[in-house]
């Protein structure tokens, strides 16, 4: 494949960032905005061309005669050489998941660029906003096409920084500033684990390259043969640390990076606060693209994770707990963006669990395909929901559902598209979420019925809190909107909504198994109607029915329910006090317990001893200063005394 | 003598001094300072290009552009010059910072002529140090670089300037005392009747028992200037009171003299002891890294924050040098370059902000992004470089250090490497704290609303530094290979590792 197109996919957003960042203040809002949209649109078309070429061209570089998909490196440029084998390269790796992700990222990014033309109209710093969007898109694209783990880390950090800039876009608001700071520091802490994991992995294997982790000799597929003595596994043998093998440690630490970016418990606390950013940004970064980077990371290293069941088990447990926790909290939030944020956390946890339960024994790692499928569908319907929420906020100028209600009459387009999003996430056929969630649940049941039942329950909660939100916004009781009745946004805002809603309707019918699988071998998915699909539909419908009863019309049921829940509701509303715990640890323990004492120690003990030394020298000189009094008599006395002393010593020596 | 290009690194500043003597107005002084430092920058770029050309053409030898001129034959003291990739990197750094420092002191007041006199004298010491390979002349230039600092801080400083100037000078002189003892010890124990570094390293004739004694003295002697825990306390006070350009030169270049000396004298000449005793200093420098970062988290004075951050970053330099492997040591030199540039940028910006708001206390400022966007954006870029954002120089240097350090399998090295890695989080904490409080948020003081953004000379200074930081961050392989080839080919052959 010609490397020009992939290169342009990376360079256009970067160029956009530089142009808008350096020259943006000379452009008008309109020019800057349309430049950003066009740049992203071109990138999107190029990404579609690339992905289509990869999936459908039957090129020998991409697919074998037998129909197995291959990993293909389009270009790979040395960027920084550490040792002979450890080299950071910047390259472009094309395989099923990277091809999928560039499509997702450019699509959502384009929608958000277009949507922002309306949403951000007239905002101060409009050009800066578009520059940051371009920077983010560049970083995210660089992350997913990484050919080696260090390239991924580089772009991982850039993604974090652009997220910081975008969350803190309204930089005069203290809440936005602290939210952006929190997001950066929490993810940075997670990245520390990622970095140490990379260090361990690269030290043992002597390589950063993904293809070295996955390729085998026979050329039929690119996954590792698990038991080859020459493989990566052999290099880890014997080395253990605290009872776990080094590989487990490396993989768990790398996953910690993923937990930070994907907001898994207990590193999830930054994501709800990140909603301080402009809403389109939340749609792009905190729903569809950046937060799935952790899932992508695990999927990318999946062959390695397969070698360590313990690491996969860890992922499953973390994912399952997070999914439940976030779903419960989402049922109680007032701010509609926070409901969506917790819903995102929960849905990403679904993908994590799906990866965690995937094993080659079960339907060629069905869970792997399912998580990528869900990643795709979730990106579409969650972006749709966020953009819809943006339209609502744009219309009523508030984030709280208490300021909304009965909006179905005023905002028909937003209403219909939001409903489609809710149906999709709730898992009602034929909307896309049903298909992907069904695959995840199947994968869970194949591993163990416990995971299956647990995740089915979370799926039921999902349907409940989404329809709670839907009814509270579009039905419930209508507040007084005054003279300016809310209305749908301009076409640049409605078009992305309609487009994403359309995708959410049909995306479920994509034969995903033939496109994406963990080792490139295609297979056909089938839906287990009786075992998995039907029960989950029943659960979803029941949950929706419950939500309808409770929230369709203004009534006192929700309040009674909250009162009857013995404080559970309050605890969930306060997100189970995670923020307070963190505040205690960071502020009381680290800041007051470590930083302050160290600073005090430095000023008073270390510096004090230096000053003490100086003081000592001064005292010493003051003590002996009287000897040099300048008075001749004193000198004569000293002279006499000295002479006598010397004389006495001499005499004593001679005599004895 | 004047056919050797290296000698001009000392000659040009001397001519600058002459020009300064003849200047009659501020404009003249500026012309002299800027022209002179531009000449030095041009010369160092030419040197870099020519050096690479010579190496590509197959030039052998640890150092190129060698020259020896006897100075005091009774003690075999010579003026010996020569450079390799590492010294060239340091020379380049020094000339960039001298140039940007001259721009940053555009409006220095009072006594501009005297200020530049001492500044140029200081740069003679710095350049002389980096080109010398004779231990004695090296030490002489080292002292030449230290003394002007006393006057520069004592006269043009702010706050408790006399105290700080005295403290800085005395502590560094204390280090020099160790250093001189160590150098004389090296001279006599090598038994070559030569002060030449290359000869001594080649012969490797210092008895091991003596190395145990001389290595710590040399390392501590230079380590004081490299802000090694617990000899770093001159740095916060000194930086806080120094005028802008002096802070820039001091943190940007002078602290690098420490790291460079630790490597070039202590480790290069006494590899045996370096191997045996590295663990002591690994612990100390490892502590420096996190200790400095934690201390920076609670400071409220901008310059104190930066000074402690320098303790942390320079600790990483010494830490990596002690790993004694090519990758980590390459990383150490990269970190010197990177830290030199970004800390100079920081101090320049702090000086500019202080010049406007007349306070450095972050509690009294806020929302500067709205008032002086240019300076604020530059500050954010400097902060991002400091916390290791890819694409800027800090990331490259730190990653090289971490990857290199992790290749050492000893438990102590592993543990301290992981501890040092933690600094990436703490750095993020204190950088974002400052950015959040100082630049973002609402405007704290209404009087600040009338302040102006950067002037053209300030822009020149900061933009130059940012370009350099970004150049290293975006194209690291050029610099890394310059340094790495120096290490692998010439130095490890001598050390025998």
DSSP B429-482: HHHHHHIIIIISSS-S-GGGGG-----HHHHHHHHHHHHHHHHHHHSHHHHHHH
pLDDT digits (tens, 9 = 90+) for A579-619: 888 888 888 888 888 888 888 888 888 888 888 988 999 99
What local confidence, expressed as pLDDT, does residue B495 receive?
A: 53
Q: Which residue of B has its CA nearest to A87?
A: B477
Chain A nearest-CA distance from B107, in A, is 28
- Cβ of A155 within 8 Å of Cβ of B167? The answer is no
pLDDT of A206 > 90? The answer is no
- B349 and B383 Cβ atoms separated by less than 8 Å: no
The pLDDT value recorded for residue A41 is 93
Chain A residues near residue B167 by CB distance under 8 angstroms: 610, 614
Residues pairing with B81 in the sheet? B67, B132
Q: Quick one: tokens of B291?
A: 């200790």
Q: Which residue of B has its CA nearest to A604?
A: B233
- Concatenating the DSSP letter of every residue in A577-599 gives GHHHHHHIIIIIIIIIIIIHHHH
**How many angstroms away from the CA of A130 is the closest CA of chain B?**
17
Q: Which residue has the tokens 């991982």?
A: A156
Q: Compare CB distances from B480 to A81, A157, A591 and report the shortest one's residue.
A: A81
Would you state the pLDDT for residue A578?
84
**For the residues of A286-327, what is the DSSP string, one character each?**
IIISGGGHHHHHHHHTHHHHHH-HHHHHHHHHHHHHHHHHHH
Which run of H or E residues covers position A92?
Answer: strand A87-94
How many residues can be counted in chain A?
Answer: 656
Residue A219 has pLDDT above 70, yes or no: no
Q: Which of B399, B411, B413 to mutate to test the interface with A (most CBs of A within 10 A)?
A: B399
Tokens of A232: 């990566």
Nearest CA in chain B to A598: B295
* CA A474 to the chain's CA centroid: 30
Q: Give residue A214's pLDDT.
A: 67
d(C-alpha B86, C-alpha B322), whole Å: 16
Given a cut of 80, whether residue A14 has pLDDT beyond it is yes
Q: What is the residue-level pLDDT of chain B in tens, covering all 497 positions?
A: 778 888 899 999 999 999 988 888 888 888 888 999 999 999 999 999 999 988 888 877 778 888 888 888 888 888 899 998 889 999 999 999 999 988 888 887 788 888 889 989 999 999 999 999 899 999 999 999 888 888 888 888 888 888 889 888 888 898 999 999 999 999 998 888 888 888 888 888 888 888 899 999 999 999 998 888 888 888 888 888 888 888 888 888 888 999 999 988 888 888 888 888 888 999 999 988 999 999 998 888 888 999 999 999 999 999 998 888 888 888 999 999 999 999 999 999 998 888 888 888 888 888 888 888 899 999 999 999 998 899 899 899 999 999 989 888 788 888 899 999 999 999 999 999 999 888 888 888 788 778 888 888 888 889 999 999 999 999 988 888 888 888 765 566 555 54
| φ/ψ (deg, to 5) at B160 | -80, 70
SS3 B226: coil
Per-residue confidence band for A235, with pLDDT thresholds at 50, 70 and 90: low
* N-term to C-term CA, chain B: 36
Chain-centroid distance of CA A520 in Å reads 26
User: Which candidate, A395, A487, A344, A503, places its Cα nearest to that of A119?
Assistant: A395
Residue A17 — pLDDT band, cuts 50, 70, 90?
A: very high
Kindly report whether the peptide bond that precedes residue A199 is cis, defined as omega within 30 degrees of 0.
no
pLDDT at residue number A231 = 56
HSE-up of B341 (CA within 13 Å, CB side)? 32
> Nearest CA of chain A to the CA of B252: how many Å?
23
| Residue recorded with tokens 């199947």 | A442
Take residue B380 and report the two structure tokens written for it.
């954010």
Is B171 close to A602, i.e. CB distance below 8 A?
A: no
C-alpha B398 chain-centroid distance: 16
Burial A130-158 (b: 16+ CB within 10 A, else e): bbbbbbbbbbbbbbbbbbbbbbbbbbbbb
Q: State whether A181 and B432 contact (CB < 8 Å).
A: yes
Q: Give pLDDT, residue A232.
A: 58
d(CA A270, CA A290): 13
- The more confident residue out of A65 and B304 is B304
What's the CA gap between A290 and A381, in Å, rounded? 15
User: Beta-carbon neighbour count of residue A562 at 10 Å?
Assistant: 15
The predicted model gives A121-130 an average pLDDT of 87
Q: Which secondary-structure segment (H or E) carries B81? A: strand B77-83
Cα A290 to the chain's mean position, in Å?
5
Cβ <8 Å between B299 and A599: yes
Looking at the predicted complex, does its ipTM rise above 0.85?
yes
Across the interface, of A157, A189, A598, the residue whose CB is closest to B291 is: A598
Candidate from B369, B391, B429 with C-beta closest to A185 = B429
What string of DSSP letters covers A432-497? HHHHHHHHHHHHHHHH-HHHHHHHHHHHHHHHHHHHHHHHHHHSS------SS------HHHHHHH
- The whole-number pLDDT of residue B43 equals 93
Rounded to the nearest integer, the mean pLDDT of chain A is 86
**In terms of CA atoms, which chain B residue is nearest residue A603?**
B233
Distance separating alpha carbons of residues A42 and B142, to the nearest angstrom: 58
Contact at CB, B476 and A189, closer than 8 angstroms: no
pLDDT of residue A306: 81
With 70 as the cut, is the pLDDT of residue A215 above it?
A: no
Which of B233, B384, B406 shows the shortest C-beta gap to A610? B233
How many beta-carbon pairs below 8 A join chains A and B?
120
Question: Which residues of B fall within a CB distance of 8 Å from A86?
Answer: 327, 403
Whether pLDDT at A568 is above 90: no
- Beta carbons of A154 and B395 less than 8 Å apart: yes
For residue B78, give how far its alpha carbon lies from the nearest alpha carbon of chain A (Å). Answer: 36
User: For position A560, what pLDDT does the model report?
Assistant: 81
Of A435, A296, A303, which Cα lies nearest the Cα of A360? Answer: A303
CA distances, A367 to each of A193, A299, A378, B162 (Å):
25, 10, 15, 69
Site of tokens 């890294």: B289
| pTM to 2 decimal places | 0.92
Both tokens of A630, joined, read 């300048």
Distance CA B299, CA B302 (A): 8
Asked if the Cβ–Cβ distance from A199 to B402 is below 8 Å, we say yes
Q: Is the pLDDT of residue A218 over 70?
A: no
Average pLDDT over residues A424-445: 87
- A125: phi > 0 → left, psi -120 to 50 → alpha, else beta; which? left
For chain B, give every domain's residue range: 5-495
Kindly write down the DSSP assignment for every residue of A9-61, as one continuous string.
HHHHHHHHHHHHHHHGGGS-HHHHHHHHHHHHHHHHHHHHHHHHHHHHS--TT
The Cα of B409 is separated from the nearest Cα of chain A by a number of Å equal to 10
In terms of pLDDT, which residue wins out, A479 or A214? Answer: A479
Q: Name the residue facing B477 among A78, A150, A596 (closest C-beta).
A: A78
For A:579-608, CB contacts with B below 8 A are 591, 594-596, 598-599, 602, 606-607
Chain B nearest C-alpha distance from A206 (Å) = 10
Positive/negative CA dihedral, A556, A558, A559, A565: positive
Say if the Cβ atoms of B424 and A606 lie within 8 Å. Answer: no
Calculate how close chain A gets to B194, using CA atoms only, in Å: 36
Cα–Cα separations (whole angstroms), residue B39 to B7, B99, B322, B442: 13, 10, 35, 44
Q: What pLDDT was estimated at residue A217?
A: 43
């Amino acid at each position: 494949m010609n490397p020009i197109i992939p290169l342009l996919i990376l360079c256009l957003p970067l160029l956009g960032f530089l142009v808008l960042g350096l020259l943006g203040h000379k452009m008008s809002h309109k020019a800057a905005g349309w430049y950003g949209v066009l740049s992203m649109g071109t990138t999107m078309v190029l990404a579609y061309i690339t992905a289509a070429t990869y999936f459908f061209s039957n090129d020998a570089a991409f697919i074998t005669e037998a129909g197995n998909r291959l990993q293909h490196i389009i270009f790979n440029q040395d960027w920084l050489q550490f040792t002979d084998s450890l080299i950071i390269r910047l390259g472009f790796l094309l395989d099923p998941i990277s091809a999928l992700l560039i499509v997702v990222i450019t699509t959502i990014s384009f929608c958000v660029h277009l949507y922002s033309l309306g949403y951000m109209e007239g905002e101060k710093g409009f050009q800066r906003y578009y520059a940051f969007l371009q920077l983010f898109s560049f970083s995210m694209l660089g992350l997913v096409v990484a050919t080696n783990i260090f390239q991924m880390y580089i772009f991982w950090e850039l993604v974090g920084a652009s997220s910081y800039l975008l969350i803190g876009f309204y930089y005069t608001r203290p809440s936005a500033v602290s939210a952006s700071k929190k997001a950066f520091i929490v993810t940075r802490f997670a990245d520390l684990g990622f970095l140490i994991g990379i260090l361990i992995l690269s030290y043992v294997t002597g390589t950063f390259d993904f293809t070295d982790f996955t390729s085998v000799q026979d050329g039929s597929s690119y996954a590792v043969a698990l038991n080859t003595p020459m493989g990566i596994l052999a290099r880890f043998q014997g080395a253990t640390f605290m009872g776990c093998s080094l590989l487990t440690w490396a993989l768990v630490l790398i996953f910690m990076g993923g937990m930070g970016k994907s907001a898994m418990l207990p590193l999830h606390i930054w994501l709800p606060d990140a909603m301080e950013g402009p809403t389109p940004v939340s749609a792009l970064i905190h729903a569809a693209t950046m937060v799935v980077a952790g899932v992508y990371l695990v999927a990318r290293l999946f062959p390695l994770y397969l070698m360590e069941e313990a690491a996969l088990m860890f992922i499953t447990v973390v994912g399952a707990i997070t999914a439940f926790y976030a779903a419960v909290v989402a049922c109680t939030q007032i701010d509609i963006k926070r409901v969506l944020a917790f819903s995102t956390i929960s849905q990403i946890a679904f993908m994590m669990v799906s990866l965690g339960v995937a094993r080659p024994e079960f339907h060629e790692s069905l869970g792997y395909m399912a998580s990528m499928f869900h990643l795709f569908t979730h990106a579409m319907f969650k972006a749709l929901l966020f953009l819809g929420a943006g339209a609502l906020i744009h219309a009523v100028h508030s984030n709280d559902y208490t300021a909304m209600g009965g909006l179905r009459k005023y905002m028909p387009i937003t209403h219909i598209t939001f409903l489609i999003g809710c149906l999709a996430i709730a898992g009602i056929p034929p909307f896309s979420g049903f298909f992907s969630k069904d695959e995840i649940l199947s994968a869970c049941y194949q591993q163990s019925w416990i995971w299956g039942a647990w995740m089915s329950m979370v799926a039921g909660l999902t349907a409940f809190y989404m329809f709670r939100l839907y009814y509270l916004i579009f039905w419930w009781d209508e507040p007084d909107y005054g003279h300016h009745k809310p209305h749908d946004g301009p076409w640049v805002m409605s078009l992305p909504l309609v487009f994403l809603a359309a995708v959410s309707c049909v995306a479920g019918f994509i034969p995903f198994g033939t496109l994406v699988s963990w080792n490139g071998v295609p297979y056909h998915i089938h839906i287990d109607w009786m075992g998995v699909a039907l029960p989950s539909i029943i659960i979803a419908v029941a949950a929706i029915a419950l939500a309808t009863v409770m929230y369709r019309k203004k009534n006192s049921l929700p309040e009674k329910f909250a009162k009857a829940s013995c404080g559970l509701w309050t605890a969930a509303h306060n997100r189970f006090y995670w923020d307070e715990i963190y505040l205690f640890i960071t502020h009381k323990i680290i800041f007051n317990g470590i930083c302050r004492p160290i600073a005090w120690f430095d000023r008073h003990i270390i510096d004090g001893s230096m000053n003490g030394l100086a003081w000592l020298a001064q005292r010493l000189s003051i003590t002996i200063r009287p000897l040099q009094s300048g008075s001749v008599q004193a000198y004569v006395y000293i002279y006499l005394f000295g002479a006598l002393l010397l004389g006495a010593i001499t005499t004593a020596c001679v005599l004895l | 003598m004047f056919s050797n290009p290296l000698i001009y690194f000392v000659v040009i500043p001397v001519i600058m001094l002459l020009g300064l003597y003849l200047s009659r107005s501020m404009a003249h002084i500026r012309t002299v300072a800027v022209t002179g430092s531009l000449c030095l920058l041009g010369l160092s770029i030419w040197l870099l290009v020519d050096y690479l050309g010579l190496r590509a053409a197959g030039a052998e030898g640890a150092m190129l552009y060698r020259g020896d001129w006897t100075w005091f034959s009774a003690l075999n003291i010579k003026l010996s010059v020569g450079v390799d990739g590492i010294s060239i990197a340091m020379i380049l750094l020094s000339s960039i910072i001298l140039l940007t420092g001259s721009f940053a002191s555009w409006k220095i007041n009072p006594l501009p002529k005297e200020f530049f006199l001492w500044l140029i004298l200081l740069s003679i010491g710095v350049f002389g140090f980096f080109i010398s390979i004779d231990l004695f002349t090296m030490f002489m230039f080292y002292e030449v670089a230290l003394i002007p600092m006393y006057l520069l801080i004592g006269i043009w400083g702010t706050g408790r300037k006399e105290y700080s100037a005295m403290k800085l000078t005395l502590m560094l002189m204390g280090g020099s005392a160790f250093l001189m003892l160590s150098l004389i010890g090296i001279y006599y124990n090598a038994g070559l009747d030569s002060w030449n570094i290359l000869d001594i390293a080649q012969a490797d004739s210092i008895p091991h028992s003596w190395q145990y004694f001389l290595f710590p003295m040399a390392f501590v002697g230079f380590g004081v200037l490299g802000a090694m825990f617990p000899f770093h306390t001159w740095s916060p006070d000194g930086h806080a009171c120094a005028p802008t350009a002096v802070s820039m030169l001091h943190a940007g270049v002078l602290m690098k003299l420490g790291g460079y000396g630790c490597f070039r004298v202590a480790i290069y000449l006494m590899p045996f002891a370096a191997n045996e005793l590295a663990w002591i200093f690994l612990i100390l420098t490892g502590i420096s890294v996190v200790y400095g970062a934690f201390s920076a988290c609670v400071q409220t004075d901008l310059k104190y924050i930066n000074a402690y951050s320098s303790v942390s970053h320079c600790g990483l330099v010494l830490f990596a040098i002690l790993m004694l492997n090519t990758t980590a040591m390459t990383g150490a030199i990269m970190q010197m370059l990177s830290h030199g540039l970004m800390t100079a940028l920081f101090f320049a910006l702090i000086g500019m902000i202080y010049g406007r708001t007349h306070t450095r206390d972050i509690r009294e400022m806020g929302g500067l992004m709205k008032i002086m966007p240019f300076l604020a954006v530059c500050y954010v870029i400097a902060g991002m470089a400091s916390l290791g954002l890819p694409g800027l120089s800090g990331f490259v240097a730190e990653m090289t250090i971490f990857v290199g350090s992790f290749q050492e399998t000893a438990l102590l090295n592993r543990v301290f490497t992981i501890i040092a890695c933690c600094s990436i989080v703490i750095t993020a904490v204190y950088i974002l704290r400052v950015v959040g409080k100082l630049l973002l948020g609402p405007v704290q003081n209404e009087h600040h609303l009338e302040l102006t953004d950067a002037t053209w000379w300030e822009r020149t200074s900061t933009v130059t530094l940012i370009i350099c930081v970004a150049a290293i961050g975006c194209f690291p392989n050029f610099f890394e290979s310059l340094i790495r080839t120096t290490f692998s080919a010439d130095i490890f052959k001598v050390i025998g590792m």
